[in-house]
């Protein structure tokens, strides 16, 4: 049991070389630490700090996680008798009680037509897993830029998380999902939405993409359009986290415009192989991938081909404004070869492969964007409630919150449509909807980021300390607005899709 003190005991320790403080009913001896304190000695000697209850001063300047660090935890020497600690840092698995920090279906007393008991159990298990395993690694790796650890990849494989990230489908057959919590045939897009949104809570955008997002966008064309032989060879090892895959479409010459691609694939003389030449840029997970789902110009138009790392394939890291842990690569193909059997879909039919693939990719990004914004709203809510100076409700918070609710509700509606449509129907009916939704979500996200910086002030542009998530979000928010199609391109696509299905007889 912790040693018990009174406030009077603490008050005697208020001079240089002998400083105690109370933070949230816990007593800390800062005597030896005071010279090493990053905020300096003088602030600790202040008469309202040394020997006093410094809870408010402390939380006005530090995130709760500071006191979780082992080197600082050690400074606690006891507790105040009869007082209770009330401040909780990160409690793994916990639902936040901060208003708007959770989507309404997770808030007590609210209802939703979309989520079942099984979704709720799944959410709990996922949150626990993310908080305990993904969140801590994300904080370290976002900073040091190294890729996701194989240990974590293996832990995710054991629960079949990699397989679930590919959405519902035959690839789940026979797998114990989340230790058997969800039956493969019951796994639906709401489970996948939950999975994606929980992972996004790790708050590290580059690392989040490094956590095998390349597979989320690179493997579906293999699953849907690959031959049985190819699938049998490639899919199990990728879903078990033994091999890595990415989607290689964008080029320096052409980003969202797939028809402008210049990488070529021609058949070898014996007709057995593709010979591929060209380059790809901004390829997430490219630096560490073993397989590349490559968009190529072929004789018949545009074709998607699975290329294995080997002679003629080189990857180089690209430095972007988010973490190198994403593995963002520039890839060159110099007479790289792939068997003809690695063709995904029809020769010349690449545009259909891509269009249906983009749908799922963009929807995943909408899930992430909605959740990322929510995390920022939580930060802003906490900060506006706890900061001492100018503490008044902020109008911009209300605006952020309204957009957030709009995004999540629209997303849930689209997800419901997906649950009730085949892959082909989704490609036919939801391309425009999802394009609009993504453009809406990411434009809201960019405004949310700008508003959050205003709310946090200087802290919102500082990489460490109180505003670190705001700074990170503001620096990386544009990724969502670009990957999978820039906002303008998506709005244009949405309108063109709508015009295609205009009734012929409609007149003003
Ligand atoms: C257990 C006690 C404490 C520990 C472990 C601690 C630790 C730290 C750390 C790690 C930082 C770096 C900022 C960050 O990255 O978050 C910091 C900054 C600072 N600390 Fe403390 N601190 C303690 C108590 C206090 C108290 C009681 C005050 C009283 C006012 C204080 C005032 C400051 C100030 C002014 C800064 C600079 C903040 C900034 O750059 O925005 N600290 N402290």
ipTM of the complex: 0.96
Q: What angle do CA 430, 424, 412 make, to 5 degrees?
A: 35
Point out the ligand 1 atom lying closest to the alpha carbon of residue 57.
30
Cα–Cα–Cα angle for 473, 477, 481, nearest 5°? 165
Task: Tell whether ligand 1 has an atom less than 6 A from the beta carbon of residue 321.
Answer: no
Higher pLDDT pick, 399 / 215: 215
Across 88-92, 148-152, 212-216, 340-344, least confident range: 88-92
| Integer angstrom CA distances of residue 280 from 247, 292, 318 | 10, 10, 11
Q: Quick check: 473 and 205 in contact, CB under 8 A?
A: yes
Least confident of 81-85, 201-205, 482-486: 482-486
Question: What is the predicted pLDDT for the residue at 395?
Answer: 64
Compute, in angstroms, the gap from residue 492 CA to the centroid of ligand 1: 49
Q: What is the pLDDT of residue 132?
A: 97
Instruction: Specify the higher pLDDT residue, 254 or 295.
Output: 295
* Confidence at 253, pLDDT banded by 50, 70, 90: confident
CA of 63 to the centre of ligand 1 (A): 9
Q: Which residue owns the Cα nearest ligand 1 atom 41?
A: 61
Q: What is the pLDDT of residues 423-476, one digit of tens each?
A: 889 988 999 999 999 999 999 999 999 999 988 999 999 999 999 999 999 999
* Sequence-distant (≥ 6) Cβ neighbours of residue 480 within 8 angstroms: 365, 368, 369, 372, 441, 442, 445
Q: Which two tokens stand for residue 286?
A: 């490219």
Alpha-carbon distance values, 302 to 192, 258, 311, 319 (Å) = 30, 8, 23, 29
Distance CA 36, CA 38 (A): 6
**Can you give the pLDDT at residue 180?**
97
Least confident residue range of 58-62, 176-180, 186-190, 240-244: 58-62
Q: Rounded to the nearest whole angstrom, what is the distance from the C-alpha of residue 471 to the centroid of ligand 1?
A: 19
Task: Look at 388 and 343; give whichever has higher pLDDT.
Answer: 343
Per-residue pLDDT, averaged over 211-218, amounts to 95
Contacts within 8 Å (CB) and 24+ apart, 460-467: 465/61, 465/62, 465/63, 466/61, 466/62, 466/63, 466/383, 467/379, 467/383
Among 10-19, 338-347, 399-408, 490-499, the least confident range: 399-408
**In the predicted model, is pLDDT for residue 396 greater than 80?**
no
b/e sequence 69-86, b meaning 16+ C-beta within 10 Å: eeeeeebeebbbeebeee
| Whether the predicted pLDDT of 390 surpasses 60 | no
Say yes or no to pLDDT of 422 above 80.
yes
Beta bridge partners of 306: 293
pLDDT of 391 over the 60 cut: no
Q: Whose CA is nearest to atom 14 of ligand 1?
A: 465
Q: How far is the CA of 386 from the centre of ligand 1 (A)?
A: 16
Check if 353 has its Cβ closer than 6 Å to any atom of ligand 1.
no
387 contacts 57 by C-beta, under 8 angstroms: no
Sort 202 into a burial class: Cβ within 10 Å, 0-12 / 13-18 / 19+: buried
Q: Average pLDDT of 54-72?
A: 93
- Across all residues in the chain, what is the average pLDDT? 94
Residue 155 binned pLDDT confidence (cut-offs 50, 70, 90): very high
For 397, the 3-state DSSP assignment is helix
Residue 311 predicted with pLDDT over 90: yes
Q: What does the DSSP 8-state code read for residue 132?
A: I
pLDDT(154) > 80: yes
Residue 210 contacts residue 327 (beta carbons within 8 Å): yes
Each residue's pLDDT tens digit, 315-328: 999 999 999 999 99
Which residues, at least 6 apart from 360, have a Cβ–Cβ distance to it below 8 Å? 167, 217, 220, 426
Residue 417: which of 397, 400, 437 has the closest Cα?
437
**Which residue, chain included where needed, has tokens 């799944």?**
122
- Please compute the mean of the pLDDT values over residues 266-278 and round it to a whole number: 97
Lowest mean pLDDT among 200-204, 210-214, 397-401, 501-505: 397-401
pLDDT above 70 coverage of the chain, percent: 97
Asked if pLDDT for residue 401 goes beyond 80, the answer is no
pTM reported for the whole predicted model: 0.93
pLDDT at 354 over 90: no
Q: Supply the DSSP symbol for 296.
A: E
Residue 90 confidence (pLDDT): 76
Terminal C-alpha separation, the chain: 79
Q: How many CB atoms lie within 10 A of CB 149?
A: 13
pLDDT for 399:
72
C-alpha span between 411 and 429 (Å, rounded): 15
């Amino acid at each position: 049991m912790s040693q018990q003190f009174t406030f009077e005991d603490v008050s005697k320790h208020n001079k240089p070389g002998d400083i105690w403080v109370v933070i949230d009913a816990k007593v800390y001896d800062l005597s030896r630490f005071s010279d090493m304190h990053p905020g300096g000695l003088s602030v600790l000697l202040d008469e309202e700090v040394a020997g006093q209850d410094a809870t408010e001063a402390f939380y006005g300047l530090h995130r709760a996680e500071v006191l979780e660090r082992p080197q600082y935890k050690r400074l606690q020497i006891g507790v105040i008798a009869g007082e209770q600690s009330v401040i909780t840092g990160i409690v793994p698995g916990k639902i936040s009680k901060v208003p708007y920090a959770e989507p309404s279906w997770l808030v007590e007393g609210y209802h939703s037509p979309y989520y079942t008991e099984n979704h709720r159990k799944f959410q709990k298990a996922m949150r626990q897993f993310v908080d305990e395993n993904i969140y801590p690694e994300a904080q370290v790796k976002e900073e040091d830029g190294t890729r996701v650890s194989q240990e974590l990849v293996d832990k995710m494989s054991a629960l079949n998380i990699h397989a679930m990230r590919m959405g519902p489908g035959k690839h789940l057959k026979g797998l114990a999902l989340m230790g058997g919590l969800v039956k493969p045939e019951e796994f639906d897009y709401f489970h996948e939405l939950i999975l994606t949104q929980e992972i996004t809570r790790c708050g590290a955008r580059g690392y989040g993409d490094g956590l095998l997002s390349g597979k989320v966008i690179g493997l579906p064309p293999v699953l849907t359009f690959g031959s049985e032989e190819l699938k049998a060879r490639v899919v199990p090892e990728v879903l078990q986290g033994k091999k890595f895959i990415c989607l290689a479409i964008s080029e320096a010459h052409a980003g969202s415009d797939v028809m402008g691609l210049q990488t070529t694939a021609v058949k070898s003389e014996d007709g057995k192989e593709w010979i591929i030449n060209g380059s790809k840029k901004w390829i997430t997970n490219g630096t560490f991938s073993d397989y590349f789902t490559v968009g190529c110009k072929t004789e018949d138009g545009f074709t998607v081909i699975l290329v294995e790392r080997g002679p003629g394939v080189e990857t180089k890291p690209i430095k972007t404004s988010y973490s190198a842990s994403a593995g963002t690569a520039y890839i060159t193909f110099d007479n790289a070869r792939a068997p003809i059997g690695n063709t995904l879909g029809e020769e010349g039919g690449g545009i259909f492969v891509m269009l249906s693939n983009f749908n799922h990719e963009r929807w995943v990004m909408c899930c992430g964007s909605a959740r990322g914004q929510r995390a920022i709203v939580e930060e802003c809510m906490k900060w506006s409630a706890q900061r001492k100076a100018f503490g008044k409700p902020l109008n911009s918070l209300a605006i952020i919150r309204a957009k957030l609710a709009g995004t999540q509700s629209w997303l849930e509606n689209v997800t419901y449509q997906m649950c009730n449509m085949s892959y082909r129907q989704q490609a036919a009916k939801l391309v425009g909807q999802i394009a609009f939704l993504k453009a809406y979500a990411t434009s809201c996200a960019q405004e949310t980021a700008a508003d959050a910086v205003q709310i946090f002030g200087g802290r919102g542009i500082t990489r460490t300390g109180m505003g670190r998530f705001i700074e990170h979000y503001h620096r990386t928010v544009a990724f969502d607005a670009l990957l999978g199609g820039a906002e303008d391109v998506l709005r244009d696509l949405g309108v063109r899709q709508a015009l295609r299905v205009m009734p012929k007889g409609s007149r003003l």
